[in-house]
Each structure stands twice: as C-alpha cells, then as structure tokens.
Structure 1
Amino acid sequence: MLATLKFSKSSMRVQDFKLSDAGTHPNKAPFKCALFATDVPSDGPPGGAGGKKIRISSGVCDKNLHTFVGMALNIDYVNGMTDHDPRFKVAVIEKAYRSMDGNAWVEGYIYAKDFPDVVATIRYYNGLAAEHNWSEYQFGASLEMEAAVQDAEDGVLEVLEFCGTGAAILFAEAAAYKTTSFAAKNNKPKEVDVAMTPEQIKAMQDSMEALSKGMATITASVQTVVSEVGAIKTDLESVKAAKVDTEKKTTEETIAAELKAAQEKTAAVEKELADLKASKSNTPNEPVRKTLSASQLLSKHGGTSAEDATDIHTFCAAVDRLNLPPGDSLKLKMQARAELGAKENV
C-alpha cells in the first residue's frame, strides 16, 4: 500500500559529525557526515513510520538525495541534543552524494561566528568520544524528509521516493540506523585500565559531573530565554491593548466636547432671540412720521400755496419758477402727479 509519510522527527543513520578548520570564511565551519545507509533496513523505526523499520534503496537514494542540498541543520539544546528542533537552524547543506560503500553523505558548513557555542560543543564532545571511546557522546546527523513508502514482504517499509527537508545534529545514541561500519555505536569500547589511580578515577568522575551540570545549565538558559520571550510578547500585547483603549477614549472625549460646544452655542442663540423678542415687546410705539403733501413741499420751497396748485400743469409751472435742482424739481412733480391723479379718480 502506498502512503505518504512525513519524517519530521525521524532519527536515521548517524555518522561521525566531523568539523574542519580548513574554512577561510570567518562564519563558515565546514562539516561532513553520513545521513543513512542504503539497501539495508534501519535498526529502529523512525518517527512517523508507524512503528516499522524503513529501507532506502541505492536507486531511490541516487534519484532523490539532491533534495537535501540547500536544506538546514538544526540542533536541540532543550532536550539535551537527542532530538530535532527545526526552528533552531545552525548550518546548511551544500553537497549530497552516495559513496561507494552505500552511505548517503552530506557536506556543508555551520555558521561558526553566529553559533560559536554550537561549534565548541560539537568539538568538545567529539574530543571526549575520540579520546575515551565514549560512543554516547559522539555527534552525528539525523535526516528529516517527506517520503512515499510501501510495505515490503519482510515487514519493512520500502521508501519509493523522498524529499529531504533538513537534518539535525544530535548524539549518536539517538539514531535509528546503527549498523554501518561508520556508526560510533558499534565501535568496541576500550577496556578500562584497572591500574588507574584513585586520583585519576576521581578526576574522571568530576569531569562527568561537571559535564552533566553544564548540560543542565544550557537547558535552563534556553528555558529562561523562552520564558522571557513569552513575557515580552505578553507586554507587547498589553501595550497594544492600552493604546487601542486610549485612542478610543480620546475619540469619545472629542465627540463629547464638540457636542457640548454645539449645545452651548444653540442655547446662546435661543437666549439671544428671546432677549430680542422681550426687548421689542417692552419698547413704546414710535410716533407715526407725518408725510408732507406735494403742495406743502412746494410752499416749503417758497412756491405757490397749496390752494393755488389745483391742477398738474399749474403745479409744474410753479415748480419751474423756483429753479430747484433737477432732482428736487422732479420729485415734487412726481408726487403732485400722484396726488392730483388720485383726486381725479375719486
């Protein structure tokens, strides 16, 4: 049966994770290691395989191994470098190939300037493993991939194709593949010299104790950083919420102030209108202005009396004799014409 599995936390064959000092770039520490052996089942079931071992043939390896190029390597400080932490990437794969002995190899570099602690940790533990043949402290690499698999007759999942998504730097003890000649796990431990002095034994015990304390300190430091990041995130969310509340409150206060100002202005206008009405009602009636007739105006200017101006022609002749300004003369004639015409119509 064909199925697609994601080996996001699978531990595959681990080979010695070797660092080189040959790099000339200050931020590149070259490495070389084997990811897995081809044509043989894994010694244990990788994560995501449903409890079954897997096998990758040479043909499938040659066809798909290039997908690891450009992918990153991560390291898991929190769990004592025995698992994967895809979010903590410290290296990149530049080259992937299968050797004549059937192992899939990758080469690349660790960002040495950015992660000096990672480089120092790998070199320290690899040194202990090489000096004392302590295989449990040998570093290797464990791949991560998405794969299409099919059940084989021997109960092993046969990988039909895969896509490499990365790898993890971890202790060799965490590997599923342990049977190749390169696996540190299979190296026979050297016999302990029974002639060791008590001082030497005590020094070795102290070294192991210091090593354990160092690992605990690293784990605690990482957990502290995680807690601090969480606290910072909480503080940022609180500041953002407070800012939103302040902006909302400021907007509401501005609207309330504008509404109050409008209400006060309306009240002032209404009061002014009321005062005007009250003032008008309390003012005594003004005397009616008396309007002079045309004959009276003519007499005022020194002309014929009102009784002699009985028709419009006589009135106009009287006005002409006064030699008044054209405007005044025209005004008198027009008013006389209006008054005499009204009398004739009665």
Structure 2
Amino acid sequence: MLKTLKMSNSKMRVQDFKLSDAGSHPNKIPFKCALFAVDQPSDGSPSGADGKLIRISSSVCDQYLQTFVGMALNIDYTAGMADHDPRFKVAVIDKAYRSMDGYAWIDGYIYGKDFPDVVATIRYYNGLAAEYNWSEYQFGASLEMEASVQNAADMENVLDVMEFCGTGAAILFAEAAAYKTTSFAAKNNKSNKEDVEMTPEQIKAMEDGMKLLQESMTSMTASVQSVVTEVVSIKSDLTSMKAASTEAEQKTAEEQAAADLKAANDKTAALEKELADLKAGKTSPTPQEPERKTVSAANLLSKYGKVEESNSSDFSTFCASVDALNLPSGESMVLKMKAKASFGVKEGE
C-alpha cells in the first residue's frame, strides 16, 4: 500500500553543503545536499508513518532515487521555516545519486533572481550556524515521497520502504527535519566573512520583507477565495438563466400545442355539424338540370317554305311532311330526330 510520507519533526546533523553564486544563468543558484541516510532508520517518525521510524535500503534507494529528479523544493515562511508548503516552490532538483559514505544526495538550483529573500535567509542563518555553532539555525532538506512499506523483520517500530516515488522536498531548519544525518546546508562558498554577516538594519529589513510576504500571501488567499465565490455566483446565475430559457421554450411549445388542438377541435366540430345536417336532410337541393332548348316543328319546316306542314301538331304528321319534301335521307333523318326531341317522343314510340 502506498503511503504519503513527509520527513519532519526531528533533528539532523549538518553536512558539508554549499549554496554557490557561481553559474552561467542569472536565475540559477546551485545547491547540493544530503537528503537521507541509507540502510539505517530515520531519527524521527515522518508524517504518514503512524509514529514509526522508516528505513530505506541502498538497493531500494538505487532503484527509485531518480524519481526525485525534476521535483521541486518548497519553503514555508508562514510556519517559521519549520514545515512544508508545497505551493511555495523555490527550487528544483536536477540530479540525484547515492554517495559511497551511505547518503542519498540531490543537486539542483534555487531561482535566485525570483526569490532573493530565500537565498539571503539561507545564507544568513547558515552563516550564524557556522560561525557560532548554532545548529538550530542550520538549514536542512526534508523529503516528500509516496512509499510502499512493511514492518521490518529485525527491528521493532521500524517500517522498511519497499518502493517509493519522490514528489519533492522542503527547505527548513535542521531542527525540524526527519533524518539527523541529512541536511540542506545553505552556506556561501565565498570565504569572506562579510558575505554571511548582516547588520541589524539588514536583519530588520529582511524580517519586514518576510512579514510583507506573509501578508501578501494572506491577501492572495483572500483574493482567490473571492474569485471562487464570484465563479460560484456566476455559475448560479447561468443555471437560473438556463432554467428560465427552458421554461420559456416549454411555455411557447405548450401555447403552440394548445393552438393546434383548438384548430383541430374547431374543424372536428364543423365536420360533425355538417354530418348532422346531412342526416337531418338540411342540405341544399341538388340543382336541376337546365331545360333543354329544342327547335319547334314549325321552325324546322318553315325554312323549306312549307308553312302549312310546319303547323303539324304531332310527330307522325311531321314525319309525313318531311317525307313529302323528298329530302336526302341524311337530312330527312336529322329533321325527324330534332322533331322527335321537340315533340317529346320517347324511345320505342
């Protein structure tokens, strides 16, 4: 099972470490420090170890130490440089290795141009520790990692680290570090004593700067919280607007559906009324076929100069009059057919 372990809450022995001014890049101040001792239990219990000590073997160290490369170092001004602050990263690890004397070392650089106060603080307190042997002012490094552990077979209250992944480290006072035999000493590589000494005015200025930094971080936290609150408010407003838009769309759809239903009901009512009228016989009478206009018998014969025959009052007499004209059979047949319609003679008569 992986545990998140942070080495802290114990003293450590000062090692030879230099924070150098030399370097080709203006923002890189090289550092070097021993991170932890191998093959021996830690002097204190790291956070996440349930009160037990931990031990990292040389084989496990060799296998997983490179996971620290690329990780950052942080420093916690608000807690008096005695704890971890993963969100305030000031340096990066670019090399990790195990030395012959049994220590895991890391090299890297602090962003000196971005954090001149951090560089000045480390040099000042390490200068005091070196000059007056005040080990409580010596800076060290406290590692951070996720690890898989098991109870040691040869020692009680010790957890053996079986595998780990380095996630970073913290620069803090040696008094607060986990391994007594590891350190992050930040000592100036110049031999001039003036480089590590500061006047009371400088100390006061540095303390004021640290106080201002802490106030700025507090203000920044408040600003972030304000932004979060505003984002939540905006999100709430958007949700309300979306709900209102959905309600309006739904209302419009309902109104359209109501209009369509009314039109359908009106049409149905009209059809039902028309059907009822048909059943009750109230429909309009069928228009009568227009009366045919027929030519009278007198008109048919008058054009032949037969006035007396044109006064024939029946169809048979008319036909006899036509036969007496000795007309061509076709023309005679036409006259008879017209007369038949004029006299209203039905078929077969």
Q: If the TM-score is normalised by the length of the shorter chain, which range does it land in?
A: 0.5 to 0.7
TM-score of the superposed pair, with normalisation by structure 1:
0.65
Deviations 1:95-153 (A, max 9, x none): 2101233221123456678xx2xx23421311321343374473634232313233254
Matched, 1:138 2:139: yes
Specify the code of the residue in structure 1 equivalent to 2:43.
Answer: D
Matched, 1:299 2:300: no
Question: Aligned pair count?
Answer: 306
From 292, 302, 315, the equivalent of 1:308 is 315
- Check 1:243–1:27 CA distance in 2 against 1; reply closer, same or farther (3 A cut): farther
Pair 1:6 & 2:3 matched: yes
Contact 1:64–1:161 (CA<8 Å) still a contact in 2?
no
Q: Secondary structure at the match of 1:61?
A: helix
Please state if 1:32 is matched with 2:39: no
How far has the Cα of 1:213 moved from its partner? 2.7
Shift, 1:164, TM fit: 1.9
One-letter code of the match for 1:123? V
> Residue type of the partner of 2:6?
K
Alignment of 1:271-290 (within 5 A): 288-290=288-290
Aligned to 1:128: 124
The residue number in structure 1 matching 2:257 is 259
> Is the contact made by 1:150 and 1:157 (CA closer than 8 Å) also made in structure 2?
yes
Q: After TM superposition, give the deviation of residue 275 of structure 1 in Å.
A: 10
CA contact (8 A) 2:38 2:61 kept: yes
CA distance in 2, matches of 1:204, 1:110: 22
Q: How does 1:96-175 map to 2 (within 5 A)?
A: 96-109=96-109, 116=114, 119-133=115-129, 135-136=136-137, 138=139, 140-172=141-173, 173-175=175-177
Secondary structure of the 1:303 match is helix
Amino acid at match of 1:238: S
Structure 2 unaligned segments of length 5 or more: list them.
187-198, 302-311
- Secondary structure (helix, strand or coil) at the match of 1:244 reads helix
Change (3 A) 1:77 1:213: closer
Q: For 2:179, which of 177, 180, 184 is the aligned residue?
A: 177
How far does residue 174 in structure 1 lie from its aligned partner after superposition? 2.7
Task: Decide whether the 8 Å contact of 1:37 with 1:102 is kept in 2.
Answer: yes
Structure of higher CA gyration radius: 2
Post-superposition offset of 1:163 = 1.9
- Contact (CA 8 Å) 1:67, 1:165: kept in 2 or not? yes
Q: 1:171 to 1:227 in 2, by over 3 A?
A: same
| Mean CA deviation greater in 48-57 or 65-74 | 65-74
Aligned partners of 2:33 and 2:105 also within 8 Å = yes
Quick check: 1:71–1:164 contact (8 Å CA) kept in 2? Answer: no
What's 1:321 paired with?
331
Normalised to the residue count of structure 2, the TM-score between the two structures is 0.64
User: Aligned Cα RMSD in Å?
Assistant: 5.0
Aligned to 2:179, the other structure's residue is in SS state: coil
- For residues 164-243 of structure 1, the aligned pairs below 5 Å read 164-172=165-173, 173-180=175-182, 182=183, 203=201, 206=204, 210=208, 213-214=211-212, 216-243=214-241
Q: Which amino acid aligns with 1:39?
A: D
Residues 45, 176 of structure 1: 8 Å contact kept: yes
Q: Distance in 2 between matches of 1:264 and 1:332?
A: 60
In structure 1, list runs of 5 or more residues that go unmatched. 186-199
Give the counterpart letter for 2:116 in structure 1: A
Residue 167 of structure 1 and its aligned partner are, at CA, apart by: 1.4
Q: 1:138 to 1:290 in 2, by over 3 A?
A: same
| Cα 1:183/1:213, change in 2 over 3 Å | closer
- Paired with 2:316 and 2:176, the residues of 1 have a C-alpha distance of 138
Residue 63 (structure 2) pairs with residue 63 (structure 1): yes
Distance (Å, rounded) in 1 between the aligned partners of 2:297 and 2:33: 132
Q: Is the 8 A contact 2:126 2:137 kept in 1?
A: no
- Bigger shift: residues 214-223 or 298-307: 298-307
**Contact kept? 1:142, 1:169, Cα under 8 Å:** yes
The 1:310–1:322 alpha-carbon spacing in structure 2 relative to 1, beyond 3 Å, is closer
Assess if the C-alpha contact under 8 Å between 2:34 and 2:184 holds in 1.
no
**Alpha-carbon contact 1:298-1:306 (below 8 Å) kept:** no
Whether the aligned pair in 1 keeps the contact of 2:20 and 2:31 (CA below 8 Å) is yes
Q: CA deviation at 1:10?
A: 3.5
